[in-house]
Structure formats: structure tokens, C-alpha cells
Structure 1
Amino acid sequence: MPDRNEHGTDADQAVVAGDAPPSERVPLSRDRVVAAAVDFIDQRGLPWLTMRRLGDQLGVEAMALYRYVPGREELLDAVVEHVVGELHDDDGVVSTPTHGWQDFAQRLAHGIRRVALRHPRVFPLVVSRPPEAPWLRPPLRSLEWVEVFLEALVSEGFAEDAAVSAYRSFTSFLLGHLLLEVAAHDADVGPLDVLTPDEEPAGPGALAAYPMVRRLRSQLSTDHADVEFEDALESLLARLALVRANQPS
């Protein structure tokens, strides 16, 4: 007779099938639910994600998930927080510029690109979900990472206005490049949410832990899209001029 545990399940068959016996299954938790949602989107795409299908993947009823996430919208916010949080686990990313601001910015840019390439079907959520503060810009619009970025540049001699300008240029470059890149990896790059610039971050005192972001809020929320476009275009044309000048004769 096969060895059956107290749940009446053939433990050997469960192992052969790739499932841990019930006594060894990981208990349901918020982290597990969110990680499963990330995996679901990675594999099947965002349009297919429902609480019922996620419950099926976890082997539970959909209602069991609401104990950990109140609904799909909150789940998507948690998914964004989860994937952006992967920057903390990336050994190539540093939180302080130990080898200069260029090295710091390059490491952070590559870290964000690795997140995008690891989760191409999730990355559009990083762009389109309402951020902690709507005047922050994708894809680097976590209050924590914006604070890290601004502090790093100011510590390297940037004036605060220059640090804000660098943040805008940095995010514009990443946004355009990475959205095109993940689109080539079967990501659903649809319309982005329209946010009200004067909305407050969720929760009282949300900016209290981020003094530089709070101090530079007015600069961060000012619209310079036209100037930034022209500056970026001039930079592109300058690079193309160098390509033209250096081409083989």
C-alpha cells in the first residue's frame, strides 16, 4: 500500500509530481501571494491575472487571498513594490556613489534594466501604476529610490536643481528605452494612467522619511517636458553628428 499521510494524500506521488507533501507546503502569506502574482504575470501576462486564477495557481480558493490583499488593484500595487524591491538584492546596484556619480548612475540604470528584462510583462505596471507620489516619474518613482538618487548626486557636488534635472533626464532615458525593449519581449504596453499632479501620497506623513524628496517636491512636480524633449533631441543629434564624423570614408 502506498504511504498516505493524515490528509489521505500519497506523499510519494506528490513528490514525483513535483508537489511537496501537504505537511511541507509553504503556508500562505502576503509575500507568497505577491510572488505568485509576479510569476503568473511573467508566465501568462497581466490580462489573464484574476484572483480566481491566482488562487488556482496557489491551490486555494480565491477568497483565501483576500486575507492578504484586499483586491486586484492592491495586488498590482504590491507586485510593483515587489519587483522594484529587487534592486535591493542586486549586487551590481549601490545606494551610495563609492566610485563617483557616473558609476552610481550606470549601476542603477543597469539594475532597473535587469528588473525590466527579468519581468518584461510586469514592467509596464511599474510605468503605469499610480506611484507613491504622482509627481514622481517612472520607472524610478519609488520614494525610497528617488531619495537615494537625489542624495547620491547632491553628495557628489550637484546643486539640488541640477540633481532634479538629472533625475528627469535619467528617468526619461530609462522609460523610453526600456518600454521599447520589453515590448519586444511580448509585454503589453498599453495606455498609461493619467495622474493628478497635486494629489498627495497615500497615507499621512508619507514623505516624512524622505526629506530631500519632500524639500524638492515643487521642482519634481514642475512640468518641463518641452525643454527636456528639446534637450534630449539636441543630445541625440550631437551623438549622431559624432557617428557621421567618425564613419569610414
Structure 2
Amino acid sequence: MTDSANSDTDQADSLDADLDAINGRELPSAQIPLSRERIVQTAISYISDHGLASLSMRRLATTLGVEAMSLYRYVVSRDDLLDAIVEDLVEEMDSYPDVITAPDHGWQDFLQRLAHGVRKVALAHPAAFPLIASRPAEAPWLRPPLRSLRWVEFFLNGLEQEGFSNQAAAAAYRAFTSFLLGHLLLEVASHGADLGPLDVIDDDHNDSLDAYPTVERLSPLLREDHSAAEFEESLENLLDRIALIKSEN
């Protein structure tokens, strides 16, 4: 266990709501106003600082300076908290002025803006972004990273307004979400996000490349970060593919 985790444990152990109540002391939650929004925002910050795996209701309560039981008035469980985090991340796109909810200058511009909005969320919260891929969706067929019926409605309505058939709009939705999820999960992994089996190797690893001379020779090039350019190029290719889907349906 890390020093930080030990510190969290020590702090949590010092918050004994039952003992405080017996001794007539005011509980911390009575002194510090709580809300679901404040709890969710603090959880996102905690994940950014300590990683998703270390998030618990007890540690979150310690960070907020309250007893853990006070959180359950606002989030009924850790799963409820994680779902609320996903909802908050997706809704963050509303704060980006470049992201629009309906086409103003054609469907290509609309999807470009939407894709970059999702990427901004991923880059702003790389450690929390994998939750978008792993949490249960509002509907079983809803695909990440557009984990919101509201945004999927915007997406499909926007394409239908631009002349897409039902089949073409649905096919575009599948292609668009697959592209975004695959690219952005790999990108946040390069920023240190924990993807479990997809997690990236630390750049400071000591494995010898002597047996792989070509890899060793090209390793400086392989380490270069071209994420922005690759995202843009892949997005352009995707839009060309969607244009073909539109013409065929």
C-alpha cells in the first residue's frame, strides 16, 4: 500500500461518526454542505489524482471531510456514483461552444464537432474516461462513448435532417462510435489511464530490445506522439466512409 493510501486510511479511521454522536459532537456532514453534484465532481478529481481503482466511498468521504455514511443520502452505492460520473462526463460536452446538437453547415461539420467534443472530454479526464466504455448503458444497445440517449437522439436526428435513411443513420452511428471508442481508449491509455488488459507499457520499462533490432532502431519514431494528427486523419477517413454509406442507402 502506498503512503498516500495509508494516509487516506488513517484519515478515514479518524472519522468515527458513531463516537462523535455518543460524545455529543456535531458530525462533519452537518458542518460541510453536500450535494450529489459536489460528490460527483470530487470523485472525478479523486480519480484524476489517484486512479479509478483506488476510489471507494470511504476514501471519497475522507476527501470531502465527512463520514462515509453521509454520502449515501446522495449516491446510493458505488455503482450509482460511477454511473453519475459517466453522466457528468458526457454532459460536459454541453459546455463546449464548438459542439452543436444539430447540423448548421452539413453533416460532416456536425460530426467533426461532435467527435472533437468527445475527444476533449477524454483528454480532460483520461483516468475516468474508461468508465464510459465499461459502465452499463441507459439501453442495452447504446454504444460508448455516446452513452446518452439525449446525444444519440441529436446524432440520429441530425443525420436524418441531412438526408440519411434510417439504415444509413444507424450504420453511421455504429461506425462513428466504434472509431471514437477505439481511438480514444488508446489515447487515454498513453496518458496513463488504467484499461486493464489494454493498459500500456510504462515508458521506463527495462525490457531489452536486443533480440528485436528493427524495433530498437525505430523505437524513437514509435514513441513519437501524433495523436492529434492521427485522430484528424482517421476522422476524415471515417467521414468518407459514412458518405459512402449515405449514398448506398
Which TM bucket (shorter chain)? 0.5 to 0.7
Of 83, 87, 90, 1:77 maps to 83
CA deviation map 1:188-234 (0-9, x unaligned):
11369xxxxxxxxxxxxxxxxxxxxxxxxxxxxxxxxxxxxxxx9xx
- For 1:152, the equivalent position in structure 2 comes to 158
Distance change in 2, residues 1:191/1:164 (3 Å): farther
Of 136, 143, 149, 1:143 maps to 149
Aligned partners of 2:93 and 2:117 also within 8 Å: yes
Structure 2 distance, partners of 1:170, 1:26, is 43
Aligned partners of 2:103 and 2:110 also within 8 Å: yes
Stretch of structure 1 that moved more, 100-109 or 133-142 = 133-142
Give aligned-pair identity as a percent.
63
Displacement, 1:141? 2.7
Structure 1 distance, partners of 2:70, 2:32, is 15
Greater fraction helix: 2
Displacement, 1:91? 0.7
Structure 2 distance, partners of 1:175, 1:137, is 9
Superposition RMSD in Å:
2.2
Where in structure 2 are the equivalents of 1:31-42 lying within 5 Å?
31-42=37-48
Query: Is residue 92 of structure 2 the alignment partner of residue 86 of structure 1?
Result: yes
State the 4+ residue runs in structure 1 displaced beyond 3 angstroms. Answer: none
Structure 2 distance, partners of 1:91, 1:63, is 38
Structure 1's unaligned 5+ residue stretches are 1-21, 193-231, 240-249
Query: Is residue 58 of structure 2 the alignment partner of residue 55 of structure 1?
Result: no
Structure 2 distance, partners of 1:143, 1:191, is 29
Displacement, 1:26? 6.4
How many positions carry a matched residue from both structures? Answer: 174
CA deviation map 1:166-206 (0-9, x unaligned):
001101110110010000011011369xxxxxxxxxxxxxx
Where in structure 2 are the equivalents of 1:169-208 lying within 5 Å?
169-190=175-196
Aligned partners of 2:57 and 2:78 also within 8 Å: yes
Query: Is residue 165 of structure 2 the alignment partner of residue 166 of structure 1?
Result: no
Structure 2 distance, partners of 1:123, 1:61, is 27
- For 1:65, the equivalent position in structure 2 comes to 71
Aligned residue for 1:66, secondary structure, equals helix
Aligned residue for 2:44, secondary structure, equals helix
- For 1:27, the equivalent position in structure 2 comes to 33
Where in structure 2 are the equivalents of 1:1-20 lying within 5 Å?
none
Structure 1 distance, partners of 2:123, 2:134, is 17
Structure 2's unaligned 5+ residue stretches are 1-27, 199-233, 242-249
Displacement, 1:81? 0.4
Aligned partners of 2:43 and 2:60 also within 8 Å: yes
Where in structure 2 are the equivalents of 1:203-218 lying within 5 Å?
none
Of 110, 130, 139, 1:124 maps to 130
Aligned residue for 1:70, secondary structure, equals coil
Displacement, 1:151? 0.2
